[in-house]
Amino acid sequence: MGEKNTAALPASEPDAAAAARTGADARAKLLGWARRTVDLVPTPWLVTGAGAVLLATTAAFGGLEAMPATAVPELSVGDTYRGSDLELTVVGVELRDERGDAMVFPDEEKGEKVLVVVVDVVNTFGKPRPSAAHAEASPTVDGIRLDGAEGAPSLSRTDDGGIPGMLQPDVPARLLLAWLVGPSDFRDGETVTLTLPDSTHHVGDNVLRGQDFWDEVRVGATVTATIEKAKTP
């Protein structure tokens, strides 16, 4: 007699229902364990984990983009810049052999020259302000810098060559900013760049209660100018 081929018999309905219940119980136990585990994890860890997922996701799309920086205005001679509660207008730049009304004293034996920047200034603040702060980062007129010239400028008035004191509110003043430079540092017709200061106004408290001051000094604008030949008196 030949061998009989015995095929597996399908499971009965009661057995199938029991298997389904067993699987459901297993999933429920697994989910319960997962919830209890999450409850035991400190919230900062969850936040950190979410941040890691966010960084991983953004990295796949090129990473986090930096916020665009505010562009510094690029001005020319004659343009008026408003910053630090001042209006500053560069009138011109001259290279001189003699000091004139500038508050610097060139050494003739060294061949030193005087680089002069003429600036119109208006104090737009409601109170008098000093024209110079005598600080490395000044928020006022002596905070103007000239690329290629060392340090802060010396200030003087164009009317009498005296040292400017307080800038009165809304009263225009024409000032000379002067640097001593070497005989070959600058030339007539050369293009130079100046930086004008900006800052943030604050009113002091405690020891400085009620006092006005400007800090967070930064570059507010640049001015491109051409050095002109010094005018003869």
What's the sign of the alpha-carbon dihedral 95, 181, 224, 135? Answer: negative
The reported pTM is: 0.68
**Ordered mean pLDDT values, 10 residues apiece, the chain (233 residues):** 44 48 50 47 45 46 51 95 97 94 92 96 96 94 96 93 94 97 95 97 78 91 93 59
| Cα–Cα distances in angstroms (integers) from residue 118 to residues 36, 93, 96, in the given order | 75, 6, 13
pLDDT score of 206: 75
SS3 readout for 139-205: CCHHHCEECCCCCCCEEEECCCCCCCCEECECCCEEEEEEEEECCCCCCCCCEEEEEEEEEEEEECC
- Quick one: CA dihedral 100, 106, 108, 111, positive or negative? negative
